[in-house]
Amino acid sequence: MCGIIGIVTGKSVAAGLISSLKLLEYRGYDSAGIATLQNGNIWRERAAGKLENLEQKIKEVGVVDGGIGIGHTRWATHGAPTEVNAHPHIVDNVVLVHNGIIENYQELREELLASNAKIMSDTDTEIIGHLISRQLKINDDIEIAIKTVVAKLRGAFALAIMIKGQEDLLIGARQGCPLAVGIGDVEGHYIGSDALALSPFSRQIIYLEEGDLVFASTNSYKIFDKSHNEVTRQVNHIEVQNAAMDKGNHKHFMAKEFFEQPDVINHTLAHYIDLESNKITIDAKLDITKFDRIIIVSCGTAYYAAMVGKYWLENSTNMAVEVDVASEFRYRNPPLNDKCLFIVVSQSGETADSLAALRLAKQKGCTTAAVVNVATSTMAREADIILPTFAGTEICVASTKGFICQISVLATLSIGLGLQTGQLNQDDAIKMTQELAQLPRLINQCFEVESDVIELANDIAKVEHVLFLGRHTSYPIAMEGALKLKEITYIHAEGYAAGELKHGPIALIDEKMPLIIIAPDNAVYEKTRSNIEEIAARGGDITVFTSESRAKEIQKLGLKAIALPDCSEFVSAFVYTIPVQLLAYHTAVHMGTDVDQPRNLAKSVTVE
Ligand code: F6R
């Protein structure tokens, strides 16, 4: 949440700040701003809304460029997304940008108000500016001032700070939110929320650790750890592909990304399965005989991936598999020990709640694994075992290819661990890997339902509520379908276990209630069909996503059916993900909402 960039090169930095903010906009787009220092002055420009508003404003008023600058793209936490609350904030000589939340902000604000501080915005960030400014008035040693103020802050944050008159000093602080330092390919130093933000300037990246402070100039930098000792941190060589920032022939990143799914499934599976020999390779540290239970924790779409994984893992290992949302898991004092295999699932690898859950599990002695897409992320660095997904950079805020890669990893894991437990034999494993190998072809066939889904989307665009239903792995897919629809169309949608409807939600059914029912031809098809008939009897407006072989029988009941390719029970979660993604996308396109950057959201949720 929120993207930050800082540049110190001694040469013009404004264009670099803007190009980096373009790469950071996925982290939030409520407002944007940049500031530079030059000849003892501060120049700053900010605008509410997307980065293009800031660019337009700068075009009109002109730039006052400098050799040092900071920039920010905001996902609002404290204070409305207005220009006054946009970063950078200036307090006397202090200019700063911030990602995260200061939890003791109210108490610090009251303290400042009591000493007559003039607070201009509703943000917690400005409070930090006042504290630094006040400290500098007591003692003008900048390092001491920063260390003193940072020690007073509670919460998770990353900061980039400049001080008026100090045109060769860029300061960064990390506590709970990611922050990286880039050593310029050509010159200077950079501070940014992630390697992507630094990619236009630097391939040599240092990931700051919790509590680290960095003081960088054009020619040097020093890092202090949380005890304020100067430390050396590892420099990583990173290649970040900017090609991902191009929509290709598509109108939206979401379309580009879901049409990439056959390829990214292939890349991800190829990391774990040798499709010639059907041999699965998983990390040697994943020895299932050491564990008596598996816990999978994640948020949002990644949580639904984890739920799909639970069905597969329980079936293939006969072990208890618990799944929880990270924001609940971390505060419910779960019993954990070294017999637990803890798996976090995260596209970004930075989600604050999932990261905290991972740390809790580590601290309590679990072996930890991260199913993660960003190989340089904090979770990838901190987990004992990395289970990478190969989705490539996902730009659209709504995850599509990230999800399909997460379930690809969980599917291979369920085969690999199933073999270890003896619950699966070689023949079962070969059959399952062969089914996975069919996926790129099957998914391409699924795209053929697009025109039917567009027709349905045109109807859905007119309604206010939608229910998605499914059983077994189609239940999390129903929830994922509902989440995708809500987040990009703002239509209220819920996903339910089809068998659960009669315990309450069936009261919602009338002829105005559209229901999308996910009913692959599997062991629970007959049960789902009974649920379909219960709803039909009450006049619900039903569309069934089902197999080619079952579609006709549904149509005979006088109901709408969209036919997906016939597939095995194991891979049906992949196949039925496609129509729910397409439905959300085409409904959003029909309604004209902002598909790639829906309101109120951000790609990387680094606050809790
Ligand atoms: C929805 C979506 C979010 C994320 C969630 C976790 O389309 O993308 O629900 O899945 O914020 O993010 P990661 O996977 O980065 O931990």
* Helix locations, 10-160, DSSP H: 14-24, 51-61, 105-114, 124-138, 142-152
Contact 492, 465 (CB under 8 A): yes
Strand, coil or helix: what is 50? coil
State yes or no: pLDDT of 153 exceeds 80. yes
Contact 348, 373 (CB under 8 A): yes
Q: Report which ligand 1 atom has the smallest distance to the Cα of 604.
A: 15
CA 605 to ligand 1 centroid distance, Å: 8
Contact 16, 71 (CB under 8 A): no
CA 433 to ligand 1 centroid distance, Å: 27
Contact 78, 101 (CB under 8 A): yes
CA 302 to ligand 1 centroid distance, Å: 6
Q: How far apart are CA 563 and CA 570, in angstroms?
A: 18
Q: How far apart are CA 309 and CA 387, in angstroms?
A: 14
State yes or no: pLDDT of 490 exceeds 50. yes
Q: Say what the pLDDT of residue 177 is.
A: 82
E strand or H helix that includes residue 517: strand 514-519
Task: Name the residue among 21, 13, 23 with its Cα closest to residue 53.
Answer: 21
Q: Say what the pLDDT of residue 92 is.
A: 97
CA 589 to ligand 1 centroid distance, Å: 21
Q: Is 352 in the pocket of ligand 1 (CB under 6 A)?
A: no
Q: Is 487 in the pocket of ligand 1 (CB under 6 A)?
A: yes
CA 508 to ligand 1 centroid distance, Å: 29
State yes or no: pLDDT of 242 exceeds 60. no
Q: Is 77 in the pocket of ligand 1 (CB under 6 A)?
A: no
Site to substitute for ligand 1 among 605, 606, 608, most atoms within 8 A of C-beta: 605
21, 26, 30, 32 alpha-carbon torsion, rounded to 10°: 0
Pick 282 or 160 by higher pLDDT: 160
Give catalytic residue positions.
Answer: 2, 603
Q: Say what the pLDDT of residue 84 is.
A: 95
Q: What pLDDT, in 10s, does the model give residues 387-421?
A: 999 998 898 999 999 999 999 999 999 999 999 99
Instruction: Please compute the mean of the pLDDT values over residues 163-173 and round it to a whole number.
Output: 98
Q: Average per-residue pLDDT in the chain?
A: 94
Q: Is 543 in the pocket of ligand 1 (CB under 6 A)?
A: no
| 67: confidence class by pLDDT, cuts 50, 70, 90 | very high
Site to substitute for ligand 1 among 351, 373, 596, 604, most atoms within 8 A of C-beta: 351
Instruction: Please compute the mean of the pLDDT values over residues 320-344 and round it to a whole number.
Output: 96
Q: Is 218 in the pocket of ligand 1 (CB under 6 A)?
A: no
CA 322 to ligand 1 centroid distance, Å: 19
Residue nearest to atom 3 of ligand 1 (CA): 300
| 100: confidence class by pLDDT, cuts 50, 70, 90 | confident
Domains and CATH numbers, the chain: 3-247 (3.60.20.10), 257-437 (3.40.50.10490), 444-591 (3.40.50.10490)
State yes or no: pLDDT of 541 exceeds 50. yes
Torsion angles phi and psi, residue 90, rounded to 5:
-120, 125
The string of DSSP codes covering 275-303 is TTTTEE---TT--GGG-SEEEEEE-HHHH
The DSSP output letter for 505 is G
**DSSP strand E in 85-235: where?**
89-91, 94-102, 155-163, 170-175, 180-183, 189-192, 204-207, 213-216, 221-224, 230-231
Q: Report which ligand 1 atom has the smallest distance to the Cα of 354.
A: 16
Instruction: Please compute the mean of the pLDDT values over residues 161-190 and round it to a whole number.
Output: 94
Q: Say what the pLDDT of residue 248 is.
A: 65
Q: What pLDDT, in 10s, does the model give residues 32-45?
A: 999 999 999 999 99
Other C-beta atoms within 10 Å of 121: how many?
19
Site to substitute for ligand 1 among 347, 382, 486, 597, most atoms within 8 A of C-beta: 347
Give me 530's structure tokens: 């009974």
CA 299 to ligand 1 centroid distance, Å: 6
Q: Report which ligand 1 atom has the smallest distance to the Cα of 300.
A: 9
The string of DSSP codes covering 253-273 is HHHHHHHTHHHHHHHHHHHHE
| 240: confidence class by pLDDT, cuts 50, 70, 90 | low
Give the CA diameter of the chain: 82
Q: How far is CA 604 from the centre of its chain?
A: 4
Q: What pLDDT, in 10s, does the model give residues 502-535?
A: 899 889 999 889 999 999 999 999 999 999 999 9
Q: Is 398 in the pocket of ligand 1 (CB under 6 A)?
A: yes
| 375: confidence class by pLDDT, cuts 50, 70, 90 | confident
Instruction: Please compute the mean of the pLDDT values over residues 168-179 and round it to a whole number.
Output: 92
Torsion angles phi and psi, residue 495, rounded to 5:
-110, 130
Pick 309 or 248 by higher pLDDT: 309
48: β partners: 31
Q: What share of the chain is helix, strand, coil (3-state, %, to 5)?
A: 40, 25, 35
Cα angle, residue 512 at apex, residues 511 and 517 outer, rounded to 5°: 80
Q: Report which ligand 1 atom has the smallest distance to the Cα of 398.
A: 7
